[in-house]
Amino acid sequence: RKEVEQDPGPFNVPEGATVAFNCTYSNSASQSFFWYRQDCRKEPKLLMSVYSSGNEDGRFTAQLNRASQYISLLIRDSKLSDSATYLCVVPSNTGKLIFGQGTTLQVKP
């Protein structure tokens, strides 16, 4: 299994749709997880941290399933401005960040 694996997409959805991204990770000892957002040719920016079973912030919900080593990100009521690449990120035991390939979302009017 790859260290962090994501479906690269692209996901093309209409405005207002609900969309979910999945991520699997290989290190069963990982304790914290992150979703970052990356716009084209820009730096990754933290979207959400996930420590326990999940986290919710407005339209965004992240869920963690430790038994399956699986993290998801749900976006409700998609906006045009949500169009970006969503990066699943898992810290190693030493603190370096291990990035997935990213899932590209395109929200269309």
Partner 1 sequence: EPEVTQTPSHQVTQMGQEVILRCVPISNHLYFYWYRQILGQKVEFLVSFYNNEISEKSEIFDDQFSVERPDGSNFTLKIRSTKLEDSAMYFCASSEASANLGETQYFGPGTRLLVL
In the complex, the residues that contact partner 1 under the rule CB under 8 A are: 30-32, 34, 41-46, 49, 51, 87, 91-102
Query: Whose Cβ is closer to partner 1: residue 41's or residue 109's?
Result: 41
Q: How far is the CB of 51 from partner 1 (least distance, A)?
A: 6
Q: Which is nearer to partner 1, 48 or 75 (CB)?
A: 48
Distances (CA, A) of 81 to 4, 89, 93: 26, 21, 34
Minimal distance in Å, beta carbon 27 to partner 1?
Answer: 10
DSSP β-bridge partners for residue 54? 63
Cis peptide before 10 (omega within 30 of 0): yes
